[in-house]
Structure 1
Amino acid sequence: MMMPEIPARSLETAINYFNELQPLVFNKEELKHAHVSASPEFYLKRPDSPLEEMKVNLITSASDEKLLLTGHMGSGKSTELNRLAEDPKLQQRFFIVKYRIVEALNITDIDYLDFLMSFAAILFTRAAEARIEFEGSVLKRLSGWIQFISGKVPELQEAQKGRELKKRTLQFFQRIMTILLREIALRDALRESVGRNITELLEAINLIIQEIQTRLPKGKQLLVIIDDMEKIPDVNRADALFNQAGGYMIMPRCKIVYTLPIALYYNVKIKQILNTFSRAYFLKNITIFDESSRSLKPDQVDFMRKYIGKRMDLSLMEPGAQDVAIEYSGGVVRELVRIVKDAIIKALARGFSTVTQDLVQAVIIDLRNEYGRGLVGRHYRVLDTVLEGRENEVDDEKTLMELYHSRVLLEYENGSRWIAINPIVRPLLDRYRKGV
């Protein structure tokens, strides 16, 4: 990946470094094909990241830990997991399989059978890519399960004809991934076939895991990191996966890190989920506000300013513009990146060489209108209750989860946990309360 000047010395260059949807990439091979905004040079170590504790847990625990990582959308989970997967100590101890769930299946209609099938498919294909050779006896056992699954899905039977056993097995799992991603009718047939004997699917998964573990150097284990599960848009489907089917998700006999939708973290059923999985870690927002006074905390504001300074020379943005962008980001990294990016676009469109405070204010108005389009009366009623410090009295759990999921409500920690309304949204609530 060709890297121009870092930090950028012009807005024309800087615009390429601000992409709120792009996590940072630390894998050298992936970096060759990544967007310039994914450069690890933009990384700023967070003093409050729970990933160090997670790493210690993974390395020292003798159990097959099933860990959860959650946090607000845009808090930086993907970047932290990308960095975790490239950690030298972890790579020394583990054969790491990291993937994004959206690469393996359709998350808008996900269920636990889809997840388990995709898990098996990813493990086998990644093992093949790493040139891990499976014993013929293991392939034969997998073949028996594959024939059972294929019995009700003629398209899978075709894929099993006239090929060497190893190739047939690999092509079966590759076909499974395509079906789960794109072919709804076949996926439903596959669900029906697999659902007839879930035990055999779990046995196939653990057979694959066992064979991978056997082929690894002595002392090395399998670690699977699954990102983007927090992006499951339907809270009910996420609940069905992590809560109702959580028992299936902990059955693979290896260490796994899952991302958890933040809406479930605030669900009344979270205790059930935490009783199923080993441990949950929360990646906090940057606490830029003081809990009592709600005034800005200078040290945390400076930390957020460094996020901007990593990507572009701060002289390209007026100090007042920086302050407004940081304040209205609410301490959410993705929100800050988007505000600055949109302000740069406005500056370039007007032929400006720097980002002014007025331009940032214009971006805030645009974002406020965007948030406002998704809010209705029930949202404002819950926000009103939260504003009065009576969050525990909210009985509309569905609406509360939606507000957390959409970053309208933000959680902070200042020794203790506290909740605030996204500063971009706050004026909308003020208008609602006045009846405007």
Structure 2
Amino acid sequence: MVHLNQDISIWEAKSQLAFNEPLKPGDPLYVKTDSARGDFSLKRLYRELNVDNQGMAHSKPAAPRKQYTLFTGHRGCGKSTELLRIADYLHSPDRYYVIHLDCLEKLDINNLKYSDVLLALAAALLEQLEKEDGIVIDQVFLTRLENWFKERVEVHTALQDFAAEVKAGAKIQTGLPWLGKLFGELTNKINIGSTYREELRLVVRNNFTEFADAFNQLILAGEEKIRAAGKGQRILFTVDGTDRLDQEDAPKFFVEDVHQLTQINGLFIYCAPIHLLHQDNCITASFNQPFRLPMLKVRDRDGEDIPENIAVMRELALRRVPEQLFDEIDTVDYLVRFSGGHPRDLLRLLNVAINYADEERIDRSAAEKAVKQVANEYRRFINTEDYSRLVQIDMHPDAPDDFTDEQSSLMLYNLILLEYNDYFWKSHPLITTLPGYKKAKYATE
């Protein structure tokens, strides 16, 4: 096993434990985790996009004109990192021209509407076509978007100052560079929560069909030019960050407003929160069968260790905190087991363990204190009556359908419950250390 940065100090290792930043393709900290996720492969996702095992996109049968795929899994299970790798792999002359949008970077995830995402996607497409690839779109295919702005935004009383701001200093107010600047400003105003945000959303909502038709025309024209330039076969939009929507906002975005999302005729992959799949809604009526990124299985459904999967998680830890910074390898495995196979929680535990470490080494005492602290952080998300429910689920992991109510969905959202491949559930191992869980378990014995 080869590890990087063997000579780094414990404080340098700590700087490599940022758990809210996805790893970009090629990052040396990346560890391939597919084998530890059970019956899992990205090939099914690629097949849905008509890409074969050799990476070739097949035009016959062609990918549908419109297709919306949900990419789901627990928060922190590695979706953002994997989606970046998916986007990088599919962005190829023989495959797709990928437009990747990170809503956490470009938009306000705590106040997100479908209009924000679609405007941001239009801005990202316009910018990538013009600035990154120098692709020119004939004016006839841009006029409808320009007219939508002139006739719906510019004339709106509350948005006239905004329109004047955008036009200020612009030598030419037509064409791809102008539209790119225009939609970039629309996205920026929504992101910073300016006084224009709600008015812009209202304009999109009240004139959505016109906007959708204009956007669809841009996509069609763009795909023709992209093929001619040898940059890809179709446009594919990948949208990250929408899995961070909370219990209230997720159904609004993916269910109530799905008609608007699906009026854009294109290929989309949206990240979605896992709890949404366990609520009583019609999400699969509008989206392809969801593609789930399973949690890493460090233990089986009976609670027995899976050594080869523990080894994968151990490698993930040692890439960031080298082995010489631990008193023994068993301390690493101790943290791996209590992470529940959750990559972000493993990084959290390592981070906290470093805070408790004496001198330059993480020992078992520091690891145990880290487990206790992070377990207590979860404690505030658990109601007293939840412990009995968790014990019952742990006793019957093969039958989660008996517990698919709102409270169980909330526990999935809060990572109190973890879902593994084959769709069995287990309490997060950290939760099993809490007094409430131990008391509930004792009551069943």
Give the secondary structure class of the aligned counterpart of 1:17: coil
Query: Residue 333 of structure 2 aligns to which amino acid in structure 1?
Result: D
CA distance in 1, matches of 2:260, 2:402: 34
Alpha-carbon contact 2:116-2:187 (below 8 Å) kept:
no
Give the secondary structure class of the aligned counterpart of 2:195: helix
Counterpart of 1:101 in structure 2 is 103
Alpha-carbon contact 1:404-1:410 (below 8 Å) kept:
yes
CA distance in 2, matches of 1:56, 1:387: 35
The alignment status of 1:284 with 2:294, answered yes or no, reads yes
CA distance in 2, matches of 1:369, 1:334: 17
Counterpart of 1:224 in structure 2 is 237
Structure 1, residues 42-79: CA drift from partner, whole Å, max 9, x if none? 33242244323212322245213321111111111111
**Aligned match for 2:384, one of 359, 367, 377:** 377
Query: Residue 339 of structure 1 aligns to which amino acid in structure 2?
Result: L
**Aligned match for 1:296, one of 305, 309, 326:** 305
CA distance in 2, matches of 1:363, 1:157: 53
Alpha-carbon contact 1:124-1:170 (below 8 Å) kept:
yes
CA distance 1:394–1:209, shift in 2 (3 Å): same
CA distance in 2, matches of 1:319, 1:132: 53
**Identical aligned pairs, as a percentage?**
22
Alpha-carbon contact 1:55-1:90 (below 8 Å) kept:
no
Counterpart of 1:148 in structure 2 is 151
* Number of positions where the alignment pairs a residue of Structure 1 with one of Structure 2: 411
Aligned 1:119-138 pairs, distance under 5 A? 119-130=121-132, 131-138=134-141
Aligned 1:222-261 pairs, distance under 5 A? 222-232=235-245, 234-261=246-273
Structure 1, residues 253-284: CA drift from partner, whole Å, max 9, x if none? 22211101111022122xx2112112311111
Counterpart of 1:406 in structure 2 is 414
Alpha-carbon contact 2:349-2:370 (below 8 Å) kept:
yes
Give the secondary structure class of the aligned counterpart of 2:34: coil
CA distance in 2, matches of 1:120, 1:42: 31
Alpha-carbon contact 1:7-1:309 (below 8 Å) kept:
no
CA distance in 1, matches of 2:274, 2:6: 33
Report the TM-score when normalising by structure 2. Answer: 0.85
CA distance in 1, matches of 2:439, 2:203: 52
The alignment status of 1:209 with 2:219, answered yes or no, reads yes
CA distance in 2, matches of 1:422, 1:91: 43
Query: Residue 146 of structure 1 aligns to which amino acid in structure 2?
Result: F
Counterpart of 1:35 in structure 2 is none
1:225 Cα deviation after fit: 0.9
CA distance in 2, matches of 1:366, 1:205: 49
Aligned 1:5-404 pairs, distance under 5 A? 6-26=5-25, 39-47=27-35, 48=37, 49-58=40-49, 59=51, 60=58, 62-63=63-64, 64-87=66-89, 90=92, 92-130=94-132, 131-150=134-153, 151-152=155-156, 153-158=159-164, 159-160=166-167, 163-164=171-172, 165-166=174-175, 167-218=177-228, 220-232=233-245, 234-269=246-281, 272-292=282-302, 294-317=303-326, 318-347=328-357, 350-351=358-359, 353-377=360-384, 379-380=386-387, 382-387=389-394, 389=396, 391-394=400-403, 396-397=405-406, 399-404=407-412
Mean CA deviation greater in 174-183 or 106-115 = 106-115
Query: Residue 56 of structure 1 aligns to which amino acid in structure 2?
Result: R
Which 4+ stretches in 1 moved above 6 angstroms? none
Give the secondary structure class of the aligned counterpart of 2:100: strand
Give the secondary structure class of the aligned counterpart of 1:211: helix
Give the secondary structure class of the aligned counterpart of 1:288: coil
Counterpart of 1:36 in structure 2 is none
Structure 1, residues 13-69: CA drift from partner, whole Å, max 9, x if none? 322322222211127xxxxxxxxxxx3343324224432321232224521332111
CA distance 1:395–1:417, shift in 2 (3 Å): closer
Alpha-carbon contact 1:120-1:204 (below 8 Å) kept:
no
1:85 Cα deviation after fit: 1.9
CA distance 1:204–1:378, shift in 2 (3 Å): farther
1:299 Cα deviation after fit: 1.8
Report the TM-score when normalising by structure 1. Answer: 0.86
1:186 Cα deviation after fit: 1.0
Which consecutive unaligned segments of at least 5 residues does structure 2 have? 52-57
CA distance in 2, matches of 1:387, 1:73: 21
CA distance 1:185–1:88, shift in 2 (3 Å): closer
Structure 1, residues 318-344: CA drift from partner, whole Å, max 9, x if none? 222112101100011111122122212
CA RMSD of aligned residues (A): 2.5
CA distance 1:55–1:326, shift in 2 (3 Å): same
Query: Residue 357 of structure 1 aligns to which amino acid in structure 2?
Result: R
CA distance in 2, matches of 1:129, 1:346: 48
CA distance 1:297–1:43, shift in 2 (3 Å): closer
Query: Residue 125 of structure 1 aligns to which amino acid in structure 2?
Result: E
Alpha-carbon contact 1:7-1:311 (below 8 Å) kept:
no
CA distance in 2, matches of 1:268, 1:40: 41
Alpha-carbon contact 2:69-2:288 (below 8 Å) kept:
yes
Alpha-carbon contact 2:19-2:344 (below 8 Å) kept:
yes
